[in-house]
């Protein structure tokens, strides 16, 4: 039995390495995806193009502008002279944020009376707008507090917030994205490799030839899924190494544990790949079916948007999605360095899901023609 | 089991396969003896491939049963697979693997031991003349060579029964002749061969044939006996107006079928003495007849006559 499976696996790899396009697809596209996600798909907001409308023209207002710039979040590119000009800059998309300091700002500060600053943010991209607003508040509040302190030189006891961000102290979205990319790449590669390798044989007529040999369905199934799993492990290691050494993504947990979790994650993925191969007659259908499954699983996984924000019914659907669990696992291993004592519910869920899907697919994966 | 039964390689009993409302195989009863070269002969879509798949136990019949080397296709598929070789219409080769890799792969699947391999590889590559092309990708072989490689792969485990589904489709005539030479050599080794073909000239090379049309076997016998016992007397006439003559003749009483071969017509008639009357009608109608003779029908004539008669029968019935 193991002899036959071994020869099937060898055959798959001879075929894969003989075709340059397949080699490219299996080993280069994961890297391209990683670089795209690592560099392009970032939620970090830096150097926000800003307009600064200063009606006060005081030392204090200039000081505030300096602080906005030195924070690194804002780049003051325009100094408009009227409300109309601000309107224009925002409309044309030249600035994302406009700050207006009213006359009397410095006087109010000195007197210690409340003063107002007008902040206009382009809400077209709501996510970025929210982040920009947060930064404006932080910088202005920081400035206000300092002024206050120097003003009263209080000996009074005071309450001070000290915020500390755990696990990803710089709040780099890359650290959040790269582990997710590993999960997504394993899924896409393994789904495609599994379903295509079965359907291609059906299309070429070699499946019919294999079916008349004494090979058992389970041997054929393993012979088709093990190569995908090997490629999945390889891609996982490749993306991890590049992520850690090129993108400086920290990996706090054990690589061996990541490896074991990947093995459990592969169970449902290979099961779904086999299922797709049983419902597809041609390679085109297999690709279509793969993407039909792939797109919703990304949306319903917490890959980019938090599951907690989804409507209840969709939150329940995510429990059937293997990617959902594996994302928690990879992010936990990479960023928190946690192990099985914390992640066991996810590992268990993947295992149960995987065994169920594999059994259902295996039942459909018969050695007979219909 | 008595001796007559052990002599049977393939036996089917009311074997039936239905796809939706399309009856692909209509209650097939067939017996093929060991060492026979049995040809399943019929046009495309007659159900040949379906029968092949049923007999090789890769498709489940709707009803009925069949026994291959004494094993039922219903529940002894795996025992059957050890004993048969099968070459599907598309040869089942991996075009991105070399000749040698293809043969080795099938040897692996059939569990041919490392000790037996060198001798078998040499013999199979030898008879198929593929030895010089061992390292060539199967995709770069000619149609005839692919066919021989497919055959070599199907024979790797020295099967008792060999199933060949239209093995000569898309293969040049010289390679076809080569291929048949190999099949005759295999017969000498007591292998039973079950072949399907749409070519009637190939059917005449079989030891016994079954004519199949629309999923039903019309008759089974030796090719010569089929022609003989069918006893369709046949006349061949030559005429420049073959097309019109054909239409006219087919309306006459006592004519079973008319086939046109260029400017010649093969007319199957019910009784030999009708020939004179038909010739007279043609002449009175003004056709110029350049030659006329009684002929032994070719298998093709027989086939068409039989199909025609069966269709008439179904219309009347």
Confidence tier at A156 by pLDDT (50, 70, 90): very low
Residue B121 is predicted with a pLDDT of 93
Lowest mean pLDDT among A10-14, A121-125, A159-163, B163-167: A159-163
Average pLDDT over every residue of A147-169: 60
Residue B100 scores a pLDDT above 50 = yes
Average pLDDT over every residue of A26-35: 89
Q: Report yes or no: A158 at the B interface, CB cutoff 8 Å.
A: no
Most confident of A157-161, B77-81, B192-196: B192-196
Q: Using one digit for the tens of pLDDT, what is the confidence trace for A200-211? A: 998 888 998 998
Question: Which residues of B fall within a CB distance of 8 Å from A368?
Answer: 58-60
Residue B315 is predicted with a pLDDT of 44
Q: Exposed, middle or buried by CB within 10 Å (0-12, 13-18, 19+), for B207?
A: middle
Domain boundaries, chain A: 2-41+172-364, 48-152
Residue located via tokens 């004592």 = A341
Contact B81 A214 (CB under 8 A): yes
Residue B269 is predicted with a pLDDT of 83
Confidence tier at B192 by pLDDT (50, 70, 90): very high
- Give the residue, A160 or B290, on which the prediction is more confident: B290
Question: Which residues of A fall within a CB distance of 8 Å from B109?
Answer: 4, 7, 210, 213-215
User: Of the candidates B81, B87, B91, which has its C-beta nearest A213's C-beta?
Assistant: B81
Average pLDDT over every residue of B12-23: 91
Average pLDDT over every residue of B170-174: 83
Residue B228 scores a pLDDT above 50 = yes
In degrees, rounded to 5, the angle at the alpha carbon of residue B166 between the alpha carbons of residues B160 and B172 is 115
How many angstroms separate the CA atoms of B113 and B160, rounded?
18
Share of chain B above pLDDT 90, in %: 42
Task: State both tokens at A321.
Answer: 């999605």
Question: Which residues of B fall within a CB distance of 8 Å from A208?
Answer: 53, 58, 88, 92
Q: Report yes or no: A367 at the B interface, CB cutoff 8 Å.
A: yes
Residue A103 scores a pLDDT above 70 = yes
Nearest CA in chain A to B154: A209
Average pLDDT over every residue of B71-98: 90
Are B296 and B262 spatial neighbours (Cβ–Cβ below 8 Å)?
no
User: Of the candidates B89, B97, B109, which has its C-beta nearest A213's C-beta?
Assistant: B109
Question: Which residues of B fall within a CB distance of 8 Å from A215?
Answer: 109
Confidence tier at B314 by pLDDT (50, 70, 90): low
What kind of fold does domain B228-316 have according to CATH?
Answer: Alpha-Beta Plaits (3.30.70)
- Give the residue, B142 or B302, on which the prediction is more confident: B142
Calculate the alpha carbon distances from A329 to A207, A241, A264, A268, A345 in Å. 37, 17, 11, 15, 10
Q: Using one digit for the tens of pLDDT, what is the confidence trace for B23-53? A: 899 989 999 999 999 999 888 888 999 999 9
Residue B198 scores a pLDDT above 60 = yes
Nearest CA in chain A to B111: A4
Average pLDDT over every residue of A298-306: 88
Residue A324 is predicted with a pLDDT of 94
Residue A155 is predicted with a pLDDT of 47
Q: Report yes or no: B60 at the A interface, CB cutoff 8 Å.
A: yes
Residue A159 scores a pLDDT above 70 = no
Residue A369 scores a pLDDT above 70 = no
Lowest mean pLDDT among B194-198, B206-210, B303-307: B303-307
From the options 3.10.20.30, 3.40.50.2300, 3.40.50.300, 3.40.605.10, give the CATH code of B3-220. 3.40.50.300
* Residue whose C-alpha is closest to residue A124's, from A100, A97, A99, A86: A97
Contacts with A, B 122-181, CB within 8 Å:
153
Q: Using one digit for the tens of pLDDT, what is the confidence trace for A240-269? A: 999 999 988 888 888 999 999 999 999 999
Confidence tier at A162 by pLDDT (50, 70, 90): low
Closest CA–CA distance from residue A22 to any residue of chain B (Å): 12
Average pLDDT over every residue of B228-249: 81
Confidence tier at B281 by pLDDT (50, 70, 90): confident
Contact B90 A205 (CB under 8 A): yes
Closest CA–CA distance from residue A206 to any residue of chain B (Å): 4
Average pLDDT over every residue of B119-140: 91
Residue range(s) of every CATH 3.30.70.100 domain in chain B: 228-316
DSSP conformation class of B138:
G
Residue B313 is predicted with a pLDDT of 61
Average pLDDT over every residue of B78-89: 91
Q: Report yes or no: B108 at the A interface, CB cutoff 8 Å.
A: yes
Average pLDDT over every residue of B248-262: 83
Residue A161 is predicted with a pLDDT of 59
What kind of fold does domain A48-152 have according to CATH?
Answer: abc type-2 transporter like fold (3.40.1710)
Residue A330 is predicted with a pLDDT of 93
Closest CA–CA distance from residue B82 to any residue of chain A (Å): 6
Q: Exposed, middle or buried by CB within 10 Å (0-12, 13-18, 19+), for A96?
A: buried
Closest CA–CA distance from residue A12 to any residue of chain B (Å): 10
Beta-carbon contacts of residue B297 (< 8 Å; ≥ 6 apart): B227, B230, B232, B234, B266, B268, B305
Contact B108 A4 (CB under 8 A): yes
Residue B229 is predicted with a pLDDT of 63
Residue range(s) of every CATH 3.40.50.300 domain in chain B: 3-220
Residue A336 is predicted with a pLDDT of 87
Share of chain A above pLDDT 90, in %: 41
Average pLDDT over every residue of A169-188: 83
User: Of the candidates B60, B86, B109, which has its C-beta nearest A215's C-beta?
Assistant: B109
Nearest CA in chain A to B97: A15
Nearest CA in chain A to B153: A209
DSSP string, A47-99: SEEEEEEESS-SHHHHHHHHHHHHTSSEEEEE--SSHHHHHHHHHTTS-SEEE
Average pLDDT over every residue of A68-86: 89
Contact A209 B86 (CB under 8 A): yes
Residue A257 is predicted with a pLDDT of 94
Closest CA–CA distance from residue A196 to any residue of chain B (Å): 15
Q: Exposed, middle or buried by CB within 10 Å (0-12, 13-18, 19+), for A1?
A: exposed
Q: Mean pLDDT, chain A, as a whole number?
A: 87
Residue B86 scores a pLDDT above 90 = yes
* Residue whose C-alpha is closest to residue A192's, from A228, A217, A218, A223: A228
- Give the residue, B199 or B64, on which the prediction is more confident: B64
Are A343 and A332 spatial neighbours (Cβ–Cβ below 8 Å)?
yes
Contacts with B, A 283-342, CB within 8 Å:
none
Residue B305 scores a pLDDT above 80 = no
Closest CA–CA distance from residue B98 to any residue of chain A (Å): 10
Average pLDDT over every residue of B95-116: 93
Q: Mean pLDDT, chain B, as a whole number?
A: 86
How many angstroms separate the CA atoms of A11 and B96, rounded?
10
How many angstroms separate the CA atoms of A273 and A229, rounded?
11
User: Of the candidates B88, B89, B110, which has its C-beta nearest A213's C-beta?
Assistant: B110
How many angstroms separate the CA atoms of B56 and B159, rounded?
12
Three-state DSSP at B288 gives coil
Residue A318 scores a pLDDT above 80 = yes
How many angstroms separate the CA atoms of A228 and A266, rounded?
9
Q: Report yes or no: A17 at the B interface, CB cutoff 8 Å.
A: no
Average pLDDT over every residue of A278-282: 90
């Amino acid at each position: 039995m193991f002899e036959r499976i071994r020869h099937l696996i060898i055959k798959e790899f001879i075929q894969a390495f003989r075709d340059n396009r397949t080699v490219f697809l299996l080993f280069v596209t994961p890297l391209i995806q990683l670089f795209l996600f690592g560099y392009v798909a970032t939620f970090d907001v830096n150097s926000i193009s800003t307009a600064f409308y200063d009606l006060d023209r005081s030392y204090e207002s200039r000081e505030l502008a300096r602080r906005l710039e030195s924070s690194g979040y804002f780049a003051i590119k325009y100094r408009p002279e009227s409300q109309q000009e601000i309107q224009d800059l925002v409309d044309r998309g030249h600035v994302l944020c406009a700050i207006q300091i009213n006359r009397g700002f410095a006087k109010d500060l000195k007197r210690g009376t409340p003063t107002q600053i007008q902040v206009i943010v382009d809400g077209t991209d709501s996510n970025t707008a929210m982040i920009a607003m947060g930064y404006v508040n932080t910088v202005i509040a920081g400035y206000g507090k300092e002024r206050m302190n120097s003003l009263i030189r209080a000996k009074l006891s005071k309450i001070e917030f000290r915020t500390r961000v755990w696990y990803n102290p710089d709040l780099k979205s890359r650290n959040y994205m790269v582990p997710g990319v590993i999960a997504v790449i394993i899924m896409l590669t393994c789904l495609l490799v599994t379903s295509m390798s079965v359907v291609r044989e059906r299309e070429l007529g070699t499946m019919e030839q294999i079916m008349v040999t004494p090979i058992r369905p389970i041997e054929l199934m393993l012979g088709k899924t093990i190569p995908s799993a090997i490629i999945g492990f390889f891609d996982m290691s490749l993306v991890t190494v590049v992520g850690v050494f090129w993108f400086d993504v920290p990996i706090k947990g054990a690589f061996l544990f990541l490896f074991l979790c990947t093995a459990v994650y592969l169970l449902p993925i290979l099961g779904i790949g086999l299922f797709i191969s049983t419902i597809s007659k041609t390679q085109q259908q297999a690709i279509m079916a793969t993407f039909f499954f792939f797109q919703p699983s990304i949306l319903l996984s917490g890959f980019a948007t938090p599951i907690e924000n989804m409507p209840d019914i969709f939150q329940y659907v995510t429990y059937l999605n293997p990617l959902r669990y594996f994302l928690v696992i990879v992010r936990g291993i990479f960023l928190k360095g946690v192990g099985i004592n914390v992640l066991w519910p996810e590992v268990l869920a993947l295992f149960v899901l995987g065994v169920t899907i594999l059994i259902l697919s295996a039942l459909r994966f018969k050695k007979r023609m219909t | 089991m008595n001796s007559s039964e052990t002599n049977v390689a393939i036996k089917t009993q009311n074997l039936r396969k239905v796809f939706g409302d399309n009856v692909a195989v209509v209650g097939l009863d067939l017996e093929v003896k060991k060492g026979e070269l049995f040809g399943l002969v019929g046009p495309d879509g007659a159900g040949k491939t379906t029968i092949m798949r049923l007999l090789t136990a890769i498709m489940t019949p709707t009803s009925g049963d069949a026994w291959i080397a004494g094993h039922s296709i219903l529940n002894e598929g795996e025992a059957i697979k050890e004993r048969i070789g099968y070459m599907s219409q598309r040869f089942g080769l991996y075009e991105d693997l070399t000749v040698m890799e293809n043969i080795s792969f099938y040897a692996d699947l059939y569990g041919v031991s490392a000790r037996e391999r060198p001798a078998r590889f040499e013999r199979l590559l030898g008879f198929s003349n593929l030895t010089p092309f061992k390292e060539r990708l199967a995709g770069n072989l000619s149609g005839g060579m692919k066919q021989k490689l497919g055959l070599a792969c199907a024979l790797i485990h020295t099967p008792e029964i060999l199933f060949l589904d239209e093995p000569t489709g898309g293969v040049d005539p010289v390679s076809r002749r080569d291929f048949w030479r190999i099949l005759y050599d295999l017969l000498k080794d007591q292998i039973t061969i079950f072949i399907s073909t749409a070519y009637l000239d190939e059917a005449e090379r079989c030891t016994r044939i079954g004519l199949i049309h629309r999923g039903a076997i019309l008759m089974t016998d030796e090719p010569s006996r089929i022609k003989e016992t069918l006893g369709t007397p046949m006349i061949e006439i030559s005429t420049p107006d073959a097309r019109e003559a054909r239409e006219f003749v087919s309306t006459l009483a006592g004519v079973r079928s008319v086939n046109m071969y260029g400017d010649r017509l093969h007319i199957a008639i019910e009784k030999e003495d009708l020939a004179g009357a038909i010739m007279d009608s043609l002449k009175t109608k003004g056709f110029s007849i350049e030659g006329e003779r009684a002929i032994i029908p070719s298998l093709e004539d027989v086939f068409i006559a039989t199909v025609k008669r069966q269709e008439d029968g179904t219309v009347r019935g």
